[in-house]
Amino acid sequence: MHSLKEMRREFQRAFNISANRVKVAIGLGTCGIAAGGEKVWSAVNEYVENECLDVDIMSTGCLGMCYAEPIMEVHVPGEPRFVYGNVKPDTAVEILERHLKYGRPSPEHIVGQDPRGFKPAPNIVELKDTGFFKSQVKTVLGRCGIIDPEQIVHYIAFGGYEALEKVLSEMSQTEVIEEIKRSGLRGRGGGGFPTGRKWEAAYNSPGPKKYVVCNADEGDPGAFMDRSILEGDPHSLLEGMAICGYAIGADEGYIYVRAEYPLAIKRLRKAIHDAEAMGILGDNILDSGFSFRIRIAAGAGAFVCGEETALMHSIEGKRGMPRVRPPYPAASGLWGKPTNINNVETYANISGIIRRGAGWFSGMGTDNSKGSKVFALTGNIRRTGLAEVPIGISLREVVFEIGGGIQNDRQFKAVQIGGPSGGCIPASHLETPIDYDSLIRLGAMMGSGGLVVMDEDTCMVDVARYFLKFTQEESCGKCTPCREGTMRMLQILERICQGQGRPEDIDTLESLGRVIKSTSLCGLGQSAPNPVLATLRYFRSEYEEHIFNKKCPAGICVELLDIIIDPEKCRGCTLCKNVCPADAIGGERKQPHSIDPEKCIKCQACIMKCPFDAITKG
């Protein structure tokens, strides 16, 4: 079998040679670009050309530190790697000027340094000691931000396709499956089904033609882990799928990527093309006799296609509507053939398990949830971004150590975990370890890993309404409880938020939620009521406030607010009077003004206009 060993050594040498060249890497994932990364890229290129410096400029995937985007790294041979954050086009030139010309890093922009064995620069925190990275363990995201995702040589240099080589040369199909079963890897898409057993089921179904499918639909709002893997390290997914193909006896794979990730699709296409050019994918991989071809199927905007049978229907060119199970996909999936479906992150773990052994993987995590999980920290948190943590870490550690606590020192209220199919967890349960089973006990679920932190200014009824509006719009419409029930729950919640809540609404919400959860055909319907049921369980008082006192404690539900002018603070400058669209404000110049609650449409324009912030909403 043609081996990659020499090729790998050669690429490592090339990578190291390039290591002793000065390199500037700029994060150009979708989030990097959204933060203005491209302007930094052109400014740096322009600067390097004018100064005709011998510097390689490279684009990388994201390191996960969205709060610091755009990110620029400076690699000077013999020195630690310096990571600069919140870089503007002009500050980037300044930093390079000072760093490259005079060898002095500019601490005010630095996020951290990575010594890489060299003498760390004085009084600059090391990356691995920063709060954000300290308790992280980067296995799946290991190469993201380090290698150039469009260069297969980088991937191979960092141990890429070694696992595939090992599988094809030394291991039988059952050995591979046993290894995955021993590692205790469970599905990262949200369900948490043991991956080894899933592969075994597909392996055991007869049939010459089988498929390997990767679910990269990632429809959860607030979740972008898969995107950063697809954009930052696409080959890790390809390798994982190839190994799965070998293990279950499939020769064709599909990656179902959502239409809203054009950059991910572009990078995946390039990665597949490069891998096929090097004989690592396609026919007779590395002369091993095993062939495996991967195609990309672009989604077209339907969250329900994250459900496996809906996803398969979408690939087949049909409406993405789930079907009855059994038969499970392992027995009859894509075009009726046995199919194995896993999430991007699940496949990305495979090469690590094969290379470092099941023991290494099962060493991380708790007894029934093994390995690491990538979470997308968003919401009112100081450090938003991607964090890969060992399973079992407590919520407090994730929110306060990694996330750096709540923005502008507001009070922590709850965290929504598992996206619109998950539930919210209040402050009282912050100590809960994050693993599959304890989250389900709290009425939430691991889900794909979206973790939205909410501070005291969030109204839980409004959050429940927001999530239900999402699942209601994304329901496929096949089964009655989900098609009709989610809309009826949403109508009740909207009534409550507009101040027309009725006492029996809570019972109706709970009864409807119970029926939808227990009778819907697929995961979407079965989990759609979770946000409402969870907020009802932990924040029932807020619902009662909205319904009985027609008040919104967090001041979010506009119709329930009373906007009042504080007579002491009001100087009578009439600014608010002119801006008020409903002319609900009365009072003479220099006299304290007042708002007529009947006319006031609660647009809060006066609050923004008042220079003495004499107007409050309560």
Q: Could you say which residues in the range 48-107 bind another protein, by CB under 8 A?
A: 66-67, 69
Of the ranges 137-145, 155-163, 253-261, 585-593, which one interacts with another protein (CB under 8 A)? Answer: 253-261
Of the ranges 240-248, 425-433, 514-522, 560-568, which one interacts with another protein (CB under 8 A)? Answer: 514-522
259 binds another protein (CB under 8 A): yes
For residue 354, give the nearest of 151, 67, 78, 161 by alpha carbon: 161
Rounded to a whole number of angstroms, the minimum distance from the CB of residue 73 to another protein is 18
For residue 245, give the nearest of 341, 122, 332 by alpha carbon: 341
Residue with tokens 């709970």: 510
303 binds another protein (CB under 8 A): yes
280-299 residues in contact with another protein (CB under 8 A) are 297-299
266 binds another protein (CB under 8 A): no
425 binds another protein (CB under 8 A): no
Among 100, 278, 487, 506, binds another protein (CB under 8 A): 487
- Can you spell out the DSSP letters for 229-245? HHHH-HHHHHHHHHHHH
Among 79, 114, 179, 218, binds another protein (CB under 8 A): 218
CB atoms within 10 A of CB 380: 20
616 binds another protein (CB under 8 A): no
Span between the terminal Cα atoms of the chain, in Å: 73
Number of residues engaging another protein in binding (CB under 8 A): 83
The residue among 153 and 387 lying less far from another protein, judged by its C-beta, is 387
444 binds another protein (CB under 8 A): no
Kindly report whether the peptide bond that precedes residue 89 is cis, defined as omega within 30 degrees of 0: no
Angle formed at CA 129 by CA 23 and CA 359, multiple of 5 degrees: 95
The residue among 27 and 80 lying less far from another protein, judged by its C-beta, is 27
The residue among 160 and 187 lying less far from another protein, judged by its C-beta, is 187
For residue 208, give the nearest of 250, 166, 180 by alpha carbon: 250
HSE value, Cβ hemisphere, 13 Å, CA-based, for 478: 16
What amino acid occupies position 72?
A: M
* Gap between the Cα atoms of 265 and 41, Å rounded: 22
224 binds another protein (CB under 8 A): yes
The residue among 349 and 380 lying less far from another protein, judged by its C-beta, is 380
Of the ranges 76-84, 267-275, 478-486, 545-553, which one interacts with another protein (CB under 8 A)? Answer: 478-486
421 binds another protein (CB under 8 A): no
The residue among 255 and 353 lying less far from another protein, judged by its C-beta, is 255
For residue 83, give the nearest of 52, 48, 152, 129 by alpha carbon: 129
Site map (CB under 8 A) of another protein, residues 332-371, x = contact:
---x------------------------------------
- SS3 of 552-614: CCCCCCHHHCCEEECCCCCCCCCHHHHHCCCCCEECCCCCCCEECCCCCCCCCHHHHHCCCCC
The residue among 487 and 579 lying less far from another protein, judged by its C-beta, is 487
Of the ranges 116-124, 141-149, 315-323, 336-344, which one interacts with another protein (CB under 8 A)? Answer: 315-323
The answer to whether the Cα torsion of 563, 568, 569, 575 is positive or negative is: positive
Site map (CB under 8 A) of another protein, residues 125-164, x = contact:
----------------------------------------
Rounded to a whole number of angstroms, the minimum distance from the CB of residue 259 to another protein is 5
Among 476, 497, 580, 614, binds another protein (CB under 8 A): 476
The residue among 356 and 537 lying less far from another protein, judged by its C-beta, is 537
Which token pair is 70?
């755009």
Alpha helix (H) ranges present in 219-343? 225-232, 234-248, 262-277, 308-315
Which token pair is 197?
């057993």
CB atoms within 10 A of CB 434: 26
Among 293, 337, 355, 488, binds another protein (CB under 8 A): 488
Rounded to a whole number of angstroms, the minimum distance from the CB of residue 421 to another protein is 12
Of the ranges 108-116, 189-197, 512-520, 572-580, which one interacts with another protein (CB under 8 A)? Answer: 512-520
519-558 residues in contact with another protein (CB under 8 A) are 519-521, 526
Q: Give strand pairing partners of 378.
A: 452
Among 25, 216, 376, 497, binds another protein (CB under 8 A): 376
- Can you spell out the DSSP letters for 399-430? IIIIS-SBGGGPPEEEEEESGGGSEEEEGGGT
Phi/psi for 201 (5° steps) reads -65, -45
